[in-house]
Structure formats: structure tokens, C-alpha cells
Chains A and B, each alone.
Chain A
Amino acid sequence: MTGTRSAARIALLIVTWVARLVAVILVIATFNFVLVRAAPGDPAMVMAGQSGGADPKILDDLRKEYGLDKPYLVQLASHLGRVLTLDLGYSYRQRRPVLDLILERLPATLLLTLTAFCLALLIGTTLGALAGLAAGSIVDTLFTVLSLLLYATPVFWLGLMLVLVFSVTLGWLPPFGYETINAKMTSIERVLDIAKHMIMPVMSLAAIYLAIYARLMRSSIIEVSHQDFIKTARAKGLAPARIVVGHMLRNALVPVVTVAGMQAGALVGGAVVIETVFAWPGLGRLTFEAVLQRDYPVLLGIFLILSIIVIALNLVTDLIYRLIDPRMTTEAA
């Protein structure tokens, strides 16, 4: 009796959750559509203009081909219809399905940004924790200055400086690209080759996030260490290592996870500059080019995929919260 009831409850929960997800995605899709169209500029004109000689018939044909001659509301309705069937449409400019374009670029971007993200999180929190524990010491001061400097450095400048040192002067690392083009390599050689190409872009991208997490972790540790339960733990005579790992880190991590969860969503799009400096064939550059060309289907496709990734990441963040601190729950569960 109770079994069927709880099964029904779970089913209801899932249905509610899915319905909410679909609603959120539709709202996001509408919002994206309106935003993208708010910018002046006609894609047909951009495309025809590139030919160095435009022609009214060709402009009309292009507008008709992509439904740009229909009223906005009709275009919006057909856009939402496509979103519901997960059809991302067809690129005006590249004349290929949007999904193909995105799937081609996504792996390179994920490889770059996830590596940078994990590295930044790991090193940033470790350094921040160490600095927080040694608050007020020379090490801490040095650390604070360094992380401030890192945080304030423009990412493209950092990238160019790395190229100058490691590629131009020392000749150790390839200055750009994803892998050596046109080389005959075994798969292990290829993996190493890609890894070598990744070093500088990952370093540049990780630098800023690293500084953010480190500063956050440091202040969080300092705050936690003044709280009553730490005093209690000390009074109980717990070993200092257990206090730090079991009591302080666990609690200090909560704000870091919150910020990291929010930033993970921005990572995919946030790599435009790094991808440009290092000629990295990623999604960031695709987005940027699509904006310049007013390639609406590509833009909307990327936004939709990104929104789904952000929603998924929020879910992951929720789960991590619960791992760190079992008291945290959300009302949906």
C-alpha cells in the first residue's frame, strides 16, 4: 500500500520536475530570441554584403529561405516549436545543421575549460586554505598580493606573454592550435601532442579562476575558524588535522562550491578570448562569429545548449552541497 503511494509520489515529483524544466527552457528560449533580435542588423544584408555587390533578388531569396520575411511572432512560434522537438535548425551562413556545428566545437571547449576549471578549483582552494590557516603571516601576505595581481591581469595579455616566453624565446611549447596539423601520429603521440598544445591556454584560463577560488577559500577558512564549533572541537581535544579536514574545510567549501557552480555555466562561453589568442577551435569563437554575422539559428542553438548545461550544473551543485553538508536539502526532494 505504502509502496504504490511512494511510487506515485516519485512519479509525480519527476513529472513536476520535467514540466518545470521544459517551462524554464521555453522561457529561456523566448528570452534568447527577443534578446538576439533586439540588436539591429539584418543577416541577409550581412551575407549579401560580403559578396561585394548585393542584389535585391538575392536578398529577398535569402530572407524567404530563412523565414526572415515573416512577422516576429510567427518566427518566435516556429522557434519555440523547434526547441520543443530539440531541432536546432540550420545555419544561415555556414549552411550546415546547427547541432553539427556545435557538436564539432563542444569537445575542444570542454577539454580546455573543464581542465582549467578543475585545476583552478584544486590549486585555488588548496592555496587559499593554506593561506587562511596561516592568516597574518608573511606567506599569507605574499599570497594575497599574488592572487590580486593574477586576478587583475587581463587574460589575453597573460596568454600573449606566455607565448612570448615559452614559444618565441624558449621554443618549448606550440604557440597556437589544438594539435599538430597534418602529422602522422599514433594515438598516444596524438594525446601527448594535444596535451602539449593545451598547456598555455589552460594556464591562462585557469589563472583567473584560481585567484577567485583562492581568495574565497582564504576568507571562508578565516571566518569558519572563529566559530563556536571549532572552539568546541579544540576544547574536546581533537587532533588539529581532524579539526581542519573534518570541521573547517567541509564548512569553508560551501561558498566556494556556490561560486564555482555559478561560474561553471559561464565557462563554456567565457573562453572566447583564450580561444582567439591560441587559435583554439572551440565554441566560444563560434559564438562570437555567429554574433557578428547575425547567424540567429547558431546563436539560439548555442544559447539553448548552454542553458541546458547550466541547469544540469545547478543540479550537480545541489548534489555536491548534500555531500559536503547532509543537512542541506531542497524542497523538491
Chain B
Amino acid sequence: MNRREFTAAMLAAGAAIPLGITRAAGQTRGGTLNTIIQPEPPILVTAFNQQQPTLTLGGKIYESLLKYGADLKPMPGLAQSWEISPDGLTYTFKLFPGITFHDGKPMTSEDVVFSCMKVLTETHPRARQNFARVASAEAPDPLTVVFKLKQPFAPFLGCFDCTSAPIVPKHIYEGTEFRKNPMNDKAIGTGPFKLKEWVRGSHVHLVRHDGYYRKDEPYLDEIVYRIIPDGASRALALENGTVQLVQWSDIEFFDVQRFKSQKNLEFTTKGYEYFAPHQWLEMNNRIAPMNDKRFRQAIMHLIDREAMNKRIYFGNAKIATGPISSKTRFYDGKVKRYEFSVEKATKLLDEMGLKPGANGKRAEIKYLVPPYGEVYQRAGEFFRQSFSKAGIDLVLVGTDMAGWAEKVGNWDYEMTQNLLYQLGDPALGVARTYISSNIKKGILFSNTQGYSNPEVDKLFEEAAVALDEAKRQELYSKVQQILVEDVPVAWTLELEYPIIYDKAFKNIVTTGIGSHETFGAVYKS
């Protein structure tokens, strides 16, 4: 599809949907959904915190202009239609009429401009980078928002999901210190559910927002998020029906299997397409022997990813083949494959002159175990055992969350494991790990391994501003080939978190953001 066709298709999609959203007949009103939030979010305002639990819960309270389907194509959110100028620089959004905040005040294009340009650029790291590309944002009338970009940015339409660009009320935040505003406690958004009560350490209680602009929605009366810190207790809550929905890592991987067969429960791994959590073994490219491409390739050969999926993740993952997840756009599977082979690995190590010493060891490497639970500890032990076959001795170093963040952010590590979201487009979620301009000391989730390749930089840059889909695919295919050859990090698995829910509830997973969705359309049969 070229640029013009793409624009036309977008317009058509925008025009068709308003008819779609009034479809409501046959769905029952009422009912309570009990679910889990874990760990407890620090705050519910998604503009100020983007931790996964904050987004899951805050997604019911705060909305953005667009939603994204499982295919990651945009769908109407607060905006009913949108238009892109042929030069790819002007984006015009038309809002639905009659949208109100939870305090009853109307939501207009002024709130959108204020949220995107004033609040999010101050408080939201990802949105800050996205909206830095905007030259001007205007609100010509209450239902129209116009963004003018400094230069074309292909995934700009992908920056308006409720986790990346939540809309907050201007009348509450204007002229205040955003993060310290006392109204943060009330969490005033436009979503189908509003905050009734938050008993810290116990539960968060959401109730219907009666003035919701989508006719008849929400169907449910209430959603109760329970805070249950212990994994065994969470599984028990799902088993005995105390809760009817779990998401992300609420249920430990080793427990997931037994819920697949429980008759009253539905199981799906859909709804994570937008985030597409991608996992890898991170190697500090600045330090020997990790600074040699052949060593990193040898590491790829040493990880039996099938076994890792089966033994450590209990089958809740897919094998990753490169930097882009097979679940998102522009994935190219036709890249060099590193099959599990100790011989190939030892050959590479011999070739680079890393010979075994007197004790049979070729190298001793410190591995910083990410403090995110038992499964990461066991993955570390798996790597340790795998590498020992080629004479590489991995020393596992334990740390806590803050210590891990500081060490990795400041490049003070040799190897560790990392998990990153792909955010629907390589320009948003993939490039950041590999481009030289994102080598920033002290910043976590940047190019912390220190990989730098001018050609890769150029390809990512061109692909970000190219408006033609075919051209973008070509550029991303090329970049995938180079990265897979260079192995800046050793990709292991595409994690497949489950969503498990009571069959009585319908429409739980309807978009590519799954459990972060508003749940306005969820009903109980």
C-alpha cells in the first residue's frame, strides 16, 4: 500500500466505525467483575506512571484518541475519525460529541492539546519523545484536534493508545504542579469506569461512569481489583471463583497449565499484540569477550530456546528469531537462524582465540539476575548450565530491583536478562534498543548494551520517516538481517502471557492491548 492508498484506507476506516459503535442490542446490563491487580499501583493517573498495573487499572479510567486492533491498525477511541495530509505532516482528529469527564465537565479538543503538549511532555517518557516531533497542536473547534509534525513520522498514528497518550482534564491540571495535584487521588478521566474507593493494600473499586459517551456502555456496573501479593493465593482466588479474570503474570507460569482445562474458564494469549513482550539475554558489548561478534554468535548457539521455553516458561512463550516480534508489523522471519549447537559455538570461540585455560574454562562472566521473580532466577541457572558446556563460567549475582536498575542503567554489568515491549511499531518499541543516539548513561531501557552501527542507525531513521509501508518493510527487513548477524543481544523468547477469565464474561479481549482496554463493552451473560 502506498501513502495515498494508506490515507484513503484510514479515512474509510474512520468513516465506517461510527456506525459500529452503537451496536448494543442483546447485551445485558449489570454485574460485577472481580479481578486482580498485582503489584498494587502507586497511583492511578496513567499520565504520571506507566507501570503495567497502573496501565491495566488506569485503562478503565483514562482513554486516548485511538484504540488498536489485534492487527495493530487504529480504531476509533475518543476520536471518531482522522485524516492525514498527503505530505504526512498534518493529522486531523474529529472527536465524538458529548464526551464528559468523571466530574461532569465536558471533554473537548482543548483537553487533548493540553494533555499531549503540556502534561505528557512533562511527565511521560515515551509520550515526551513522540510529541517532541510535533511542531504545533491546535484546537480549531471543540471537536477537532490538529497536530502538525516537524517532519514525517510513520508511526505517529500509533502514539494514541490509552497507555501512551491518556487524556487528562485541563480544568484540573492547568497551572498546577501536575505530579502533586491533590486531585490525582480522585483520578478524573473520561473512561467508562470511575474510581469509587481505593483501600490501599486491599482493593480498588471502580463503578459505572453514567455519562459515558458510547451509548449503553459500559455494560458492567462495577469492577473490583483485588490486591493479592502471594502467587499461590492468586491462583486460589481464580480457582474458587473469588476473581473471574487474571492477566499478565497474576498466575505464575508453572500454574498456568492447570487452568487451561478448568471448564468454566476461558484461556487466551491474545491481547498482547501491542506490547509483544520480547525477551533477551543482554550482553555488555563494551567488555571483552562480549565485544567480539563471534562470541555473541556463539552464545546464540548455546541457548537451547526450545528447552528454555519448555522447562523454564512451561511453554508460555514462542521462540524469538530476531529483534522484531513475530506478533507485530514488519517482522521478517527470513533471517539467519542459530540452531542449538555446542560444536558450532566452540568452533566460533576457538576461531576468536578464546581457548580453554588450565582449568578448562574459557571465560568467567558475571550475570546479574533480574529481580523480577523466581522464573528469572531459574532462567539464569539455565544460562549458566548451557554456557558451561562450552567452557564459559557464568557467575550469578543477585540484586534487588533498585540495584539492578542502577547497575544496568550505568553499564556496570557484564550480562543480564531484559524484557521490553514492542509498542506496535519498530520505530516506537524496537529501534530504542539498538540505535547509537540512544546510548545514554544512567538511563534504563535505552541502548544499555552499547551496540553501535551507523548502517543500523541509518536504516532505523529512514524507516521511521518513510510513509510507504512497502518501503518500511524493506528497510526493516534489512535491519533485521544485520542485527541478527551482529547479535547485539541474544534474543530468546516472545513471552505469551495468558488472560484467563470466567466464560460468563464476554468481550474481555477485543483489541491489541487486551486487559489494558477500557472494558466498556465487557458484559456478563
Contact = CB atoms under 8 A, between A and B. Distances in A.
A182 interface: yes
B202 interface: yes
A4 interface: no
A292 B446 contact: no
Given A56-B440, A95-B48, A177-B202, A168 B236 contact: yes
Q: Which of B43, B123, B222, B233: most chain A Cβ within 10 A?
A: B233
B232 interface: yes
B404 to A, nearest CB: 8
A45 B42 contact: no
A55 interface: yes
Interface string B432-449: 100000001011111000
Contact-size category for A: 35 or more
B179 A65 contact: yes
B184 A95 contact: yes
B364 interface: no
A55 B32 contact: no
B444 A176 contact: no
A163 B49 contact: no
Interface stretch (A116-124, A256-264, A272-280): A272-280
A38 to B, nearest CB: 12
Interface stretch (B3-11, B223-231, B306-314, B459-467): B223-231
B402 A281 contact: no
A292 B400 CA distance: 7
Contacts of B444: 45, 48-49, 54
A112 to B, nearest CB: 12
Contacts of A181: 34, 202-203, 205, 224, 226
A182 to B, nearest CB: 5
A218 interface: no
Given A55-B443, A281-B202, A276 B180 contact: no
Given A53-B432, A182-B205, A279-B226, A105 B233 contact: no
B125 A279 contact: no
A279 B224 contact: no
Contact-size category for B: 35 or more
Q: Which of A40, A61, A101, A294: most chain B Cβ within 10 A?
A: A40
B129 interface: yes
A279 B229 contact: yes
Interface stretch (A68-76, A282-290, A310-318): A282-290
10 contacts: A52-B445, A53-B125, A54-B446, A55-B129, A101-B200, A167-B240, A176-B228, A182-B203, A279-B229, A281-B202
Interface of B: 32, 34, 39-40, 42-43, 48-51, 122-126, 128-129, 179-180, 184-185, 199-203, 205, 222, 224, 226-230, 232-233, 236-237, 240, 242, 400-403, 405-407, 409, 420-421, 432, 440, 442-446
Given A49-B405, A51-B124, 14 more contacts: A41-B402, A46-B405, A49-B444, A51-B49, A56-B440, A58-B128, A59-B442, A96-B185, A101-B200, A175-B240, A281-B201, A281-B202, A281-B227, A291-B400
